[in-house]
Amino acid sequence: MTKALLSQRGVEFDAMDVANDPSAMEALRALGIASVPAVVVGDGEHWMTGWNPSRLAQLVGFAYEERAAAPEELIGSIGQIVEAALRALAEVPPDAWDFTVNDRKRPIRELGRHVFDVVERGVDADVLDQFPANRWLLGHDTPALIGARLIRYGEAARQKFAAWYTEPLDPKAFARTIDADVGPRTLTQVLERTRLHAGQHLRQIYAMLEMNGVSPRDRLTDDDLRRLGLDLPADVF
């Protein structure tokens, strides 16, 4: 999401692939940076980690205004993304769970688990008043979580989300401050990050299904996602 926003604003940058280049992570650690995504300006005097578009705009120097969606819009759109992810993952061929794209280390099974984890953490942030995404949303390898087991986990995450965010929704609760990994954020901003994060990964799941010869049924198109309120990057991967 960070690279996409920089590209959308015409900001030139050099990308570092910490997943496949150990020296890239070592270079960040030498600056005191322990997590990604990270943005470093110049020789490292100024930097930030995590997803905070307003802070990124200030650091790099471009205009950006975060949109505060209504609680009903946020919760409704995240629910639709979870439903779409469940439908899509039910169509994964049995021999495709370990399928990956290019040099990316996250197979489709782990991408599916991550979508549901992202949504579940949106509830945890509200319950605990904290969102340490750099710890919660680290990549994991869960080879046994495929097929019916993965779908059950997704259904459990969906039920947790729906049970917590029931109507009527209190706007004051969504305006309160959450202690996030990128500094103070409102619950609305945390959940905005949640739906963009999950929505982008849903697009990737669709693309990976198509690479395996599957045309997802009842998919949420990019136009559908934009109508739900997502400011999508141009690139899927």
CATH number at residue 144: 1.20.120.450
Percent of all residues in the chain with a pLDDT value above 90, rounded to a whole number: 61
Q: Are the beta carbons of 101 and 208 closer than 8 angstroms?
A: yes
User: Where is 48: in which H helix or E strand?
Assistant: strand 46-49
Same domain, 121 and 160: yes
pLDDT tops 90 at residue 93: yes
Residue 103 covered by a domain: yes
Same domain, 130 and 213: yes
Same domain, 118 and 162: yes
Mean pLDDT confidence for 103-123: 94
**pLDDT value for 175:** 96
Residue 236 covered by a domain: no
Residue 110 covered by a domain: yes
Among 60, 88, 110, identify where a domain stops: 60
Residue 123 covered by a domain: yes
Domain count, the chain: 2
Model-level pTM?
0.83
Structure confidence by residue, pLDDT tens digits, 128-181? 999 999 889 887 889 999 999 999 999 999 999 999 999 999 999 999 999 998
Per the structure, the complete domain to which residue 22 belongs is given by: 2-60
Average pLDDT across the chain, whole number? 89
Same domain, 18 and 115: no
Residue 24 covered by a domain: yes
